[in-house]
Amino acid sequence: MNKTAFVFPGQGAQYAGMGKDFYDNFKESREIFHRANEALGFDITKLCFEGPNEDLSITKITQPALLTVCLAIYEVLKKSDDSVVMGGLSLGEYSALTAAGAMDFETAVQLVYKRGNYMQNTVPIGEGGMLALLGCTDEEAIAFCKDITLKYGLLEPANFNYPGQIVAGGKSIAIDNAIDKAPQFNIKKAVKLQVSAPFHTSMLKPAGDKLKEDLSKIKFKKPVNEVISNVDTVYYEISKMAEKLEKQVYNPVRWEACVRKMIADGVNTFVEIGPGKTLSGFIKRIDRNVKSINIENVQGLNTYLQFAGA
């Protein structure tokens, strides 16, 4: 049976103006933005629409802003279709779980605001960072990280995005040394990323510990749709939600494996809900035979509705 997957982007997809045409055109979307403002106690809507981008790029703002925009779009799409599988990249997993009904929107937006705070404050600015490793296999990237860790300080794989792109994170000194050493490990290119912390590495374990306390207070519900986990590529069960969301903070995101698992389970169309086209780009590099549609504006929504009605 052919299935559709709704997938939600992670940090880095944000930009000033995101979600505005949904707010202008749909009552359901406006309600989500208003609920976000109320739950957070500040005007996240204004930040989404007007920026500035420097403020939107602050992790504790980025996370609730992206979740709000993704859910504002999803509310317009929403229909009871249990054949839809869901997933998300890092933060996007919270959008997927909220869309699938595992937690209510207010709980989710407050939770990711706290998550952003913990992640931002765990590693002081300048002490850690991230590096994209291009044109190598997963095994080459893992071997490279081990070698750098032994010689210069911690470097770990953080995101397995698609074949030939692995992101690593760790100590700033390790990253600076790694750039020169990459060619020795059959890595075509190593590019330093403009991020403030080594996300999805063991350096973020203290943030996971703090988040664990918040997660323990949440009464999760059984998701209406299957939602795949970045941590182990297994669909979420209620009993494992808190544990997996905690681990996700300091474990690598296995996006390529998640996409391959969904395809193996019958997904042939991926619908990226939210700003940017990052996930659509990754999916095309993982499997060119599946269809990928992006909904970040009303035009994208209309394209999808025409396709879905075909």
Task: Give the β-pairing of 291-295 and 267-273.
Answer: parallel
Looking up tokens 């317009």 gives 76
Between CA 149 and CA 147 the distance in angstroms is: 5
Catalytic residue among 29, 90, 95, 280: 90
Catalytic residue among 95, 200, 280, 292: 200
> Using alpha carbons only, what angle is made at residue 51 by residues 47 and 57, rounded to the nearest 5 degrees?
95
Distances, alpha carbon 60 to alpha carbons 14, 114, 120, 205, 241, in Å: 13, 7, 7, 17, 22
Counts for the chain of helices (H) and strands (E), in that order: 14, 9
First to last CA, the chain: 17
Backbone phi and psi for residue 16, each to the nearest 5 degrees, phi listed first:
-65, 130
**Residue 90 catalytic?**
yes
The first and second tokens of residue 282, run together, are 């990754």
Q: Give the Cβ contact number of residue 41 at 10 Å.
A: 9
Q: For residues 156 and 202, is the Cβ–Cβ distance under 8 A?
A: yes
Q: Which residues are catalytic?
A: 90, 200
